[in-house]
Structure 1
Amino acid sequence: MNAYVFPGQGAQFTGMGLDLYENSDLAKELFHKANDILGFEITKIMFEGTADELKETKVTQPAIFLHSVILSKVLGDSFKPDMVAGHSLGEFSALVANDTLNFEDALQLVSKRALAMQKACEMQPSTMAAVLGLDDDIVEKGCRETEGIVVAANYNCPGQLVISGEVPAVEAACEWMKENGAKRALLLPVGGAFHSPLMEPAREELAAAIEDTQFNTPKCPVYQNVTTTAVTDPKEIQSNLIAQLTAPVRWTQSVTYMIKDGATLFTEVGPGKVLSGLVKKIDRSAEVAQATL
């Protein structure tokens, strides 16, 4: 069975999507439509912008979404997913790929999500940190035993978790992790505590927009970050998408369930190869590929 997976924030690079734009009329049309929907020329920043310009949340999230979704559409008849999943932001790309959301609605939601998250980041100093070489339960224990708000936010693969929360709490948790056997515990260059309770203002803001958006019955299951198992009910997909902002990304568990349900090939659609690497770390026998024109 063909599983298609879609990357999240951090996969951006200067020049992303330019090959699609230059080689496909459909891609060109969708990129121009995106500029109109967003109200600024995101194509100019994607194709020519600096790393700093691409790092702005209001740019990063729509840019990665556009790269992934437009690539999946340009693939045409060869794009036949039996199941889909996306890492954090990538879940929106996955939901266009399986026809739960249309392109225009999803792009508007991604833009609103980016702005709401940016606003939440500005309300309170917060951060994230990568913890390497510890079991999930030890990382969770470290978060529980640290004063302040700090939680396990991304279960990326065995031995690689990301924690998220208030700056002092994350720093203190990093020290706890190192004292308890972590190979590394290092702060990440991010603007806030994604997938933590500190994203609650953003979750509330995005919830209203998601509830006002049409969600269709998908053509194949999506393995969502929140539940990790196959979901096909539009209402459930909607509610999981709202919960996603303050809940952890359970990528390890999602990939494990996809394999259990018959996934034999994982194709990463979008910039970078991060998810392919994570899939191989979750199950060495899994076959991975990159979608290309």
Structure 2
Amino acid sequence: MKAYVFPGQGSQFPGMGKELYEKSAVVRGLFDQANQILGFDIKKIMFEGTAEDLKQTNVTQPAVFLHSVSLAQMIETFEPKAVAGHSLGEFSALVAANALSFEDGMQLVAKRAEAMQEACELQPSTMAAILGLEDSIVEEVCASVDGVVVPANYNCPGQLVISGEVEAVEKACELLKEKGAKRALILPVGGAFHSPMMEPAREKLEKAIEQVKFHKPICPIFQNVTASAVSDPNEIKKNLNIQLTAPVRWTQTIQNMWAEGLTSYLEVGPGRTLQGLIKKIEREAQVSGVL
């Protein structure tokens, strides 16, 4: 059985979406809608902007979302048995699975990016990638450190991203190196995503989410917060409301999908990050991207 998976922030690249735009009138329509909703020319930045231009959160998130949804529209037989998205990618997955309209999805993504940027500016915070340790050790060390530092992204076995206050993250990195981490690398990000530091952003996004109508998706969506299959619109909404302050349980998501008999995964969006992570979680999985 095939699942479709959607990447998050960090998968963007200059020129993204240009080929899709030139090939499809439907995609051109999505880009026009996106420009109207966002109030700026996202197409110009995606096609002509530099990597630095695309790094701005208010650009990155709509750009990755738009690229992923456009790509899903290009798949002739879009018949996934389940979908999942990594962080931001969950919004792409919800639109592709008809749980959200494109317009509502884009508005929420724009609001999410704006709210996250504002939360980052309230207090210095950061994230760090921890490589080569069991999740339980990382969890124990985070719990032992004074201040805010929590597991944020369970990407694959041996790769867990932590998130929180700058000093607390730095202290955790020192302790984790002592515990045998191969690397404990501070990431070049604007703030502590998927941690309690995002509470101001979560509150703002929740208000926007509550105003949007969610529908029953065409297939179950494995959500970041629970790592389990969800089809009920109210439950989808509830999980989305707490996604910004809760960890992305990607390792557990793929393990649970595999246990449900989902053995083939198609990455729908820019880059190949998720294909690599999935192979590290389940070696026997068949992974591919959309050509």
Verify same fold: TM over 0.5: yes
RMSD across aligned positions (CA): 0.6
User: How many aligned positions are there?
Assistant: 291
Aligned equivalent of 2:257: 258
Which residue in 1 is equivalent to 2:200?
Answer: 201
SS state of the match for residue 245, structure 1? helix
Task: Identify the residue that residue 222 of structure 2 maps to in structure 1.
Answer: 223
- The residue number in structure 1 matching 2:143 is 144
Q: Any idea what the Cα deviations from partners look like across 1:185-209, whole Å, max 9, x if unmatched?
A: 0000000000000000000000010
Q: 2: CA distance between counterparts of 1:218 and 1:89?
A: 18
The reply to whether residue 114 of structure 1 matches residue 126 of structure 2 is no
Match of 2:6 in 1: 6
- The match for 2:72 is 72
SS at match of 2:12: coil
- The Cα of 1:131 is off from its aligned counterpart by 0.1
Offset, 1:274: 0.3
Q: Which residue of 2 aligns with 1:182?
A: 181
Q: Which residue pairs with 1:238 in the alignment?
A: 237
- How do 1:24-39 and structure 2 match up within 5 A? 24-39=24-39
Divergent runs of 4+, >6 A: none
What percentage of residue pairs aligned between the two structures are identical? 66
1: CA distance between counterparts of 2:97 and 2:26? 18
Match of residue 51 from structure 2 = 51
Tell me how far 1:75 sits from its aligned partner: 1.6
For residue 142 of structure 2, give the secondary structure of its aligned residue in structure 1.
Answer: helix
**Other structure's SS at 2:34 match:** helix
Alignment partner, residue 269 of structure 1: 268
Quick one: distance in 2 between partners of 1:262 and 1:44?
42
Q: Deviations over 1:26-81 (max 9, x none)?
A: 111111111111110000000110111100000000000000001101223x2211
Q: CA deviation at 1:93?
A: 0.3
* Amino acid across the alignment from 1:42: I
When normalised by structure 2's length, the TM-score is: 0.99
Aligned to 1:41: 41
State the match for 2:161 in structure 1. Answer: 162
Aligned-partner residue type, residue 14 of structure 2: T
Q: Per-residue deviation at 1:10? A: 0.3
Write the letter of the residue equivalent to 2:235: E
Query: Hey, what's the Cα distance between the residues in 2 that align with 1:16 and 1:98?
Result: 22
Question: Where do 1:93-108 residues align within 5 Å?
Answer: 93-108=92-107
Once residues 157 and 151 of structure 2 are traced to their aligned partners in structure 1, the CA distance between those partners, rounded to angstroms, is 13
> Which whole-Å deviations, capped at 9, do the CAs of 1:150-205 have from their partners, x for residues lacking one?
00000000000000000011011000000001000000000000000000000000
Counterpart residue identity of residue 214, structure 1? K
Structure 2: 5+ residue runs without aligned partners? Answer: none
